[in-house]
Amino acid sequence: MDHSKQIQDIASKLFAENKIDYFVGYRQNAIDDSQVPYLISDPAEIPRLVFTDRSVFNLANYLKPEHTRRKRVGLVVKGCDSRALNLMLTESQVKRENVYIIGICCEGVLNEKGEKAQNCIECVMPDAVVYDEMIGTPTGKREYIVNADIKELATIALEKRADYFEDIFSNCIRCNACRHSCPLCYCAKCCIDQETSTLYHGANTSSGAMHALMTWSLHLAGRCVDCRNCEKACPSHLPLHLLHKQNESVIYENFQQHLAGMEKDDRGAFYKYSLSDPDDFIL
């Protein structure tokens, strides 16, 4: 999967026709073969744009900062990224006419070890769901698979699982990189953020981390699209997908097979209800 040439062509066309102010893509990292997000406003920088199976980040996150919010932006999205973008459009965070979306029919990206990433193996929608221009051949929606790590953890005893998670939460340094790197966490006053919090006092302890991360994952339940931008941003390599995938699987199973951002104008699972939602756990 190498779409660098097509993306460069589209970007030059957009700048030439004055359709965008910024373009967000990827460029090669100078120190190794990984890539980094690349935000440009000058057409002279277009030759540095690339797109391969190392283009792992979710660029929809770059529509959040103040300097891109009210500007016209062109960006590249894979299947999962486009679902996040779809939700941002639904939740009125981005104006459709302000973005020019290059949708990729994704063949999966690689993790640090050079293997196909777990979320790509389990991906339900590799093609972009919202786009102005599509690159690649669509392969369509796939069947939902319950995450392998979740299935494995569900089989171990409660005390062991508690030990395991206590260990995980104790590694968190409360930097909030996870919350800042998620395209769907755009609240200006976030309830878990140490600096802006009104509710939660972000002490750097494992119970503080547990409180914050659990709250955070429940704010994203029914909205998380499993792009794993948060996990890639985490300096302590916490397996944050465990929390999100657990919520996603409960939601998929119980709430009409809801998957976030798949349809236009489809809100998160917690913004709607059905009269037949499960009730048997309530006394």
Partner 1 sequence: METEVKEAQGKIISAENPDIVAPADWQPVIMGILCNWCSYAGSDLTGTSRIQYPPNIRIIRVPCSSRVDPWFIIKSLQTTADGVLISGCHPGDCHYISGNYFARRRFLVTKKLLNFVGYHENRVQFSWVSAAEGPKFAKVVAKVTEDIKKLGPLHRYKKENF
Binding site for ligand SF4 (CB under 6 A): 84, 172-179, 181-182, 184-185, 187, 190-192, 213, 216, 219-220, 224-230, 233-236, 238, 240, 244
CB of residue 278 vs ligand SF4: minimum separation in angstroms?
Answer: 24
Contact call for residue 152 and partner 1 (CB under 8 A): no
Place of tokens 């190498």: 2
Query: How remote is the C-alpha of 188 from its chain's centroid?
Result: 18
Q: How far apart are CA 38 and CA 160, in angstroms?
A: 43
Between 46 and 219, name the residue whose CB sits nearer to ligand SF4. 219
DSSP string, 21-88: SEEEEEEE-SSSS-EEEEEES-GGGGGGEE-STT--S-GGGGGSSHHHHTS-EEEEE-HHHHHHHHHH
* Tokens at 266, concatenated: 């489809």
Strand partners, 102: 76, 133
Per-residue binding letters, 154-193, with partner 1 (x by CB under 8 A): x--xxx-xxxxxx--x---------------------x--
Q: Which amino acid is at 188?
A: A
Choosing among ligand SF4, partner 1, none, which partner's interface includes residue 226 (Cβ < 5 to 8 Å by kind)?
ligand SF4
Choosing among partner 1, ligand SF4, none, which partner's interface includes residue 36 (Cβ < 5 to 8 Å by kind)?
none
With CB under 8 A as the contact rule, which of the stretches 40-48, 99-107, 116-124, 240-248 interacts with partner 1? 240-248
Instruction: Tell me which residue of 69, 127, 109 sits closest to 93, measured CA to CA.
Output: 69
SS3 101: strand
Between 76 and 225, name the residue whose CB sits nearer to ligand SF4. 225
Contact call for residue 222 and partner 1 (CB under 8 A): yes
Q: How far apart are CA 200 and CA 223, in angstroms?
A: 22
CB of residue 42 vs ligand SF4: minimum separation in angstroms?
Answer: 29
- The footprint of partner 1 (CB under 8 A) covers 150, 153-154, 157-159, 161-166, 169, 191, 199-200, 205-208, 210-211, 214-215, 217-218, 221-222, 242-243, 246-247, 250-251, 254-255, 269-271, 273-275, 277-279, 281-283
